[in-house]
């Protein structure tokens, strides 16, 4: 039974000082790097996702272009492909990442299952090819992309652990609600 690590959206725009920076984002980058240093060999697959939005359109309504963002369905421009905001945070060492996934190219996308590798592979294909049945999830933001990615993994029959010391959310209340929802769905919360 193989195991994977999902590193969700540890990008400059989602860390302090970024377009949608969350408190604790840089600490997540540092923490994930330390985790990889100690545990990378525990995984058969390490997937890191990045929002990789188009810069010339509203990405299917994901970017608020004509009105104020509602911070639920529409957001300020962020993680535009090829910009520094879309880069991984500099404290995140991606040396041991086996697959990089881009998501949200022209459309809203929260779950890393909505992305593809540069070779065009889906995360579902990567898991199936390697016989992965256990997934650990870390990253940003607990209440959005971490939540969506973990729920999709549970929905695809994976045993999911969310490493709660290696996630950061937009809002404390909605992050707590997201973790409760994940636990109710069957994910294991590991401190």
Q: Which residues are catalytic?
A: 9, 103, 145
> Residues 77, 19: contact at Cβ < 8 Å?
yes
First to last CA, the chain: 23
Burial class from Cβ neighbours inside 10 Å (0-12, 13-18, 19+) for residue 128 reads: exposed
User: What is the SS3 assignment for 128?
Assistant: helix
- Give backbone dihedrals phi and psi of 124, rounded to 5 degrees, phi first: -60, -45
With H, G, I as helix, E, B as strand and everything else as coil, classify residue 102: strand
Judged by phi (left if over 0) then psi (alpha if -120 to 50, else beta), residue 177 lies in alpha
């Amino acid at each position: 039974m193989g195991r994977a690590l999902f590193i969700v959206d540890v990008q400059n725009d989602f860390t302090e000082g970024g377009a949608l920076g969350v408190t604790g984002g840089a600490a997540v980058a540092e923490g994930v790097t330390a985790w990889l240093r100690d545990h990378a060999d525990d995984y058969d697959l390490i997937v890191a996702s990045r929002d990789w939005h188009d810069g010339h359109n509203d990405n299917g309504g994901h970017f608020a272009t004509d009105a104020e963002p509602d911070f639920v369905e529409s957001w300020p421009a962020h993680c535009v492909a090829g910009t520094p905001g879309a880069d991984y945070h500099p404290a995140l060492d991606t040396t041991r990442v086996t697959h990089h996934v881009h998501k949200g190219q022209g459309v809203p996308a929260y779950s890393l299952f909505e992305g593809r590798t540069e070779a065009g592979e889906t995360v579902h294909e990567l898991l199936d090819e390697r016989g992965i049945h256990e997934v650990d999830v870390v990253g940003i933001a607990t209440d959005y992309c971490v939540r969506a990615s973990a729920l999709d993994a549970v929905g695809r029959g994976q045993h999911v652990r969310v490493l709660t010391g290696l996630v950061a959310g937009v809002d404390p209340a909605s992050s707590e609600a997201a973790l409760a929802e994940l636990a109710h769905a069957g994910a294991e919360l590991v401190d």
